Copies of this chain bind each other. A is one copy, B any other.
Amino acid sequence: MLDRTYTDKVTSSDSGDEVAVAGWAHEIRDLGGITFVILRDRKGQIQVIFKEDEDEELFNKAQEIGKEDLVHVKGIVEENDQAPGDREIQPTSLEIIGEAETPLPMDVSKNIDSDLSTRLDNRFMDLRKPEIHAIFSLKTKAMEAMQNWFDEDDYIEIDTPLISKGGAEGGAELFPVIYYEEEAFLSQSPQLYKQMLMAAGFDKVYETGTAFRAEEFATSRHVSEINMFDVELAFIEDHHDVMDVQEESFRHTLKKVKEEAAEELDTLDVNLTVPEEGFPRIQFDRALEILEEEFDHVPDDEGDLDTKGEKLLGEYFEEKGHPAFFVVGYPGEKFYYMQQVENDEVASRKFDLIYKGQELSSGGQRQHDLENLEKWMEKQDVDK
């Protein structure tokens, strides 16, 4: 491997040591006889100072560095409270590994903001922005924490087929695939496979997979190709057991992210608070009441919440100190494939988890009584 260390591992306490770093020329400032190069790698940035009167040859070579060139620098660490991270490098060697084309299609440093279409057309450049980078790094850490929680609790990780013969759920549209001589579709959800695995005795499974929905997008919710964290467990009493699992794994993940991705959160200017234990579990009826009384808002679909409703409820509960809460008691008529709540003629065992005004996940206890399910399918005019 190339001799180098990440910039975040170089601190002022290394003063006097020799280090090697490699990364992109984020900013170049020419002060006449002195050139500052800010070198950026995926962990941070460090300043390198080239001085004409100290090493003319190296100084001249540094004049060839262009913005976003990939460079490999060796040198001595020096403390400097004027420099980013309170240290800089006095170089002893410089190699330009790769040259960027000029002019650059867009700016990576914060100096100039590019518009969204320029950013999307130059995605490899856009991904160099420390803020965009931080999102990917954050996601890795969140997923790692999430998976570790479920691994720790002895769940089996599954990979269900993505090419399927038909849809798993009504409503959403499917993408057709030409599968050799047959018609097939991209999978909408691993739901039926998960349930089959329960019947096969797997008892607790999760999948970190992709699902596809052929729904044209008009909002920031683009579901054509989505990553899902999908869980199924058997031997539960009711949907409250599932909510317990969800709350615990989610709080664990937020805690881990807060601990282990402090720098990424800082880069993104996010102050993450881990919600307290015991997320409220509010009844759907009560949610509708709050929306009408507090915000004069009535969702179109009388059996479900809408995006605006979720956002408003999010505000309402966040103000009361609950950024995360469950909504339960959705009408069983609409969610007939869920079990019914005992001693409640209306409510199903479906729930949604809302976090900061967004539906983060939904779940429930599925109907496993075949007779009951068939009765409902008939009533709802669903093909058996």
Contact = CB atoms under 8 A, between A and B. Distances in A.
B235 A4 contact: yes
A196 interface: yes
A123 B197 CA distance: 9
Contacts of A158: 136
Q: Which of A125, A203, A235, A241 has the most CB of B within 10 A?
A: A235
A196 B1 contact: no
A230 B127 CA distance: 20
A22 interface: yes
B156 A137 contact: yes
A71 to B, nearest CB: 12
A163 B127 contact: no
Contacts of A136: 156, 158, 202
Contact of A227 (B42, B159, B200): B159
A40 B201 contact: yes
Interface in A121-143: 123-128, 133, 136-137, 139-140, 143
Looking at A147, A159, A208, the one whose CB has the most chain B CB atoms below 10 A away is A159
Contact of A1 (B124, B126, B127, B235): B235
A178 B224 CA distance: 12
Interface in A185-217: 186, 196-197, 199-203, 208-210, 212, 214, 216
Contact of A225 (B23, B161, B178): B161
Given A161-B225, A235-B22, A186 B177 contact: yes
B200 A127 contact: yes
A116 interface: no
Given A162-B210, A186-B177, A41 B203 contact: yes
Contact of A178 (B22, B175, B196, B199): B175
A98 to B, nearest CB: 8
Contact of A197 (B127, B201, B212): B127
A85 interface: no
A178 B176 contact: yes
A25 to B, nearest CB: 12
B161 A42 contact: no
Contacts of A4: 235
A187 to B, nearest CB: 10
B41 A180 contact: no
A140 B127 contact: no
B196 A123 contact: yes
The 3 closest A-B pairs by CB, nearest first: A127-B200, A2-B235, A140-B157
Given A144-B147, A175-B177, A175-B179, 11 more contacts: A2-B235, A42-B156, A42-B201, A42-B202, A126-B200, A128-B201, A139-B157, A159-B210, A163-B224, A177-B178, A179-B224
26 contacts: A1-B237, A1-B241, A2-B235, A2-B237, A41-B203, A42-B203, A124-B199, A125-B200, A127-B197, A127-B202, A128-B201, A136-B158, A136-B202, A137-B156, A140-B151, A140-B156, A140-B157, A143-B157, A144-B151, A144-B157, A148-B148, A159-B210, A162-B210, A162-B225, A175-B179, A180-B214
Interface of A: 1-2, 4, 22-24, 40-42, 98, 123-128, 133, 136-137, 139-140, 143-144, 147-148, 151, 155-159, 161-163, 175-180, 186, 196-197, 199-203, 208-210, 212, 214, 216, 224-225, 227, 235-237, 241, 368
